[in-house]
Amino acid sequence: MKVIEGGVTAAKGFEAAGVEANIKYQNRKDMALIYSTTPCQAAGTFTTNVVKAAPVLWDKDIVENSPFAQAVVVNAGVANAGTGVQGMAYCKEEADAASELLHIPQNAVLIGSTGVIGMQIPIDRIKEGIKLLAAAKADTLEAGHTAAEAIMTTDTHRKEIAVRFLVDGTEVTLGGMCKGSGMIHPNMCTMLSYITTDAAISKTLLQEALSASIQDSYNMVSVDGDTSTNDTCLVLANGLAGNPQITEKGEAYQAFCEALDYVNTYLAKQMAADGEGATALFEATVYHAATKQDARILAKSVISSNLSKAAIYGHDANGGRFLCALGYSGVHFNPDKVDLFIESKAGKIQIFQDGAALDYSEEEATKILSEPEVTVLADMKMGEETATAWGCDLTYDYVKINADYRS
């Protein structure tokens, strides 16, 4: 497997576009399209929030009940959540408009929205945007970049990646883009993430691969503990690579999963590092946990802790806060056994041994924590399982961005 340039247009037969539709933002692209020249198997995972945005309900229905999917229309600025019956009717209008312009069935059109909750989307401008998208779509790398830019809200940069790998001797490409910066604490999937691949793979295995992949990628990320109403991850596979269709769990499936995991993990980390107001990627790795689920919960508890996040912002090796966050995670362990370490490019030191603080160099600790990517490691000494979670520091700018997001 190798990482190549590009995102959602890297795989054969996929086109994309990003346009200015003036949904809420001015003078920037705020609508995106992904389009496949041929029908795709589609898989998806969606927010576990009881309050689900209209496009989430729409996409869930398409993924579960449509014979195939062929396009995704996304807008930034307004989330179409907390919008009741009218919100669902607007989804249908969007799909109708895209169906007509792209000459594909209405139930092959997936929809994504992100932005303010509790506001109706401006349907006329959305429909104008769909016209512009249909006219602008292209299979170039540039078109992929533009789409990745158009789905951003408070993100500071676009997030995309593509990889190429072999399936039964055939070259297969898988690429993706995502957005996400606040209201990020995915529980099923993250804000918006779109993966395209030319792999031929059965719908069942595509869904299975995705459902497994999100557990240790998007679901291990938290920016602020708030699980969004719009979290969506979609994979479209059009089979144009020409590999023998993957229909069972052999080597070919493994190769596909490896590529999918790599892309999802990359995009998940990109979101954490670009968390609202963040100055650092804050990683926590828990090892020797009793179970895999314990390891995941413990790691996520550390990177979700406001006090730990504030300490990372202050470059403060406050091991007590990391230990405290492990302690209230709900996982059982022996606090008198835990070892803690901090690590970055600047080095690695141990700060707690068997649950008690060590006498380490504050100067060295500060140096380690002043890097843009820092890791807290916890050795639980309870078993053999490991997990890693990604978050970011808590800064003045996070508060600033969110104190008056709507205006």
- Per-residue DSSP letter, 2: E
Q: Is 251 exposed, middle or buried (0-12, 13-18, 19+ CB in 10 A)?
A: exposed
Nearer to a second copy, 148 or 380 (CB): 380
Alpha-carbon span 91 to 175, nearest angstrom: 26
d(Cα 130, Cα 133) in Å, to the nearest integer? Answer: 5
Which positions from 116 through 155 interact with a second copy, judged by CB under 8 A? 116-119
Q: Which range, of 143-151, 167-175, 210-218, 328-336, touches a second copy by CB under 8 A?
A: 328-336
Q: Examine residue 395 and tell whether it contacts a second copy (CB under 8 A).
A: yes
Instruction: By CB under 8 A, tell whether 26 contacts a second copy.
Output: no
Q: How far is the CB of 299 from a second copy (least distance, A)?
A: 15
Active site annotation includes 190: yes
**Active-site position among 114, 190, 227, 265:** 190
Q: Can residue 229 be called a binding residue for a second copy (CB under 8 A)?
A: yes
Q: 3 vs 51, which CB is nearer to a second copy?
A: 51
Query: Can you say how many angstroms the Cα of residue 305 is from the centroid of all Cα atoms in its chain?
Result: 20
Query: Under rule CB under 8 A, which residues in 69-108 are in contact with a second copy?
Result: 79, 81-84, 86-87
374, 316 in Cβ contact below 8 A? no
Report the residue from 46, 68, 333, 341 that binds a second copy according to the rule CB under 8 A: 333
Phi and psi at 270, nearest 5°, equal -60, -40
Site mask for a second copy (CB under 8 A), range 42-61, x = bound: ------xxxxx---------
* Interaxial angle between packed helices 306-313 and 292-304, expressed in degrees from 0 to 180 and rounded to the nearest 10: 60
* Terminal-residue alpha carbon distance, the chain: 45
User: Which residues sit opposite 390 in a β-bridge?
Assistant: 221, 283
| Residue 324 lies near a second copy (rule: CB under 8 A) | yes
Binding residue for a second copy, selected from 234, 273, 326, 389, defined by CB under 8 A: 326
Please list, residue by residue across 118-146, b when 16 or more beta carbons sit within 10 angstroms of its beta carbon and e when fewer do: ebebbeebbbbbbebbbebbebebebbbb
Among the residue ranges 61-69, 90-98, 253-261, 355-363, the one whose residues contact a second copy (CB under 8 A): 355-363
Strands annotated E in 139-247: 159-167, 170-179, 192-197, 232-237
Is the CB of 273 or the CB of 326 nearer to a second copy?
326
The minimum distance between CB 372 and a second copy, in angstroms, equals 16
363: contact with a second copy by CB under 8 A: no
Nearer to a second copy by C-beta: 175 or 182?
182
Residue with tokens 């997001």: 405
Work out whether 372 is an interface residue with a second copy (CB under 8 A): no
Query: H-type helices in 38-178, by residue range?
Result: 54-65, 84-102, 123-136, 141-150
Q: Which of 364, 339, 338 is nearest to 350 (CA)?
A: 339
Distance CA 122, CA 57 (A): 19
Q: How many binding residues for a second copy (CB under 8 A)?
A: 70
Note the residues at the interface with a second copy (CB under 8 A): 48-52, 79, 81-84, 86-87, 116-119, 182-183, 185, 187, 224-229, 304-307, 310-311, 313-316, 318-321, 323-329, 331-333, 335-336, 351-352, 354-357, 394-396, 398-400, 402-407
* Residues marked as catalytic: 190
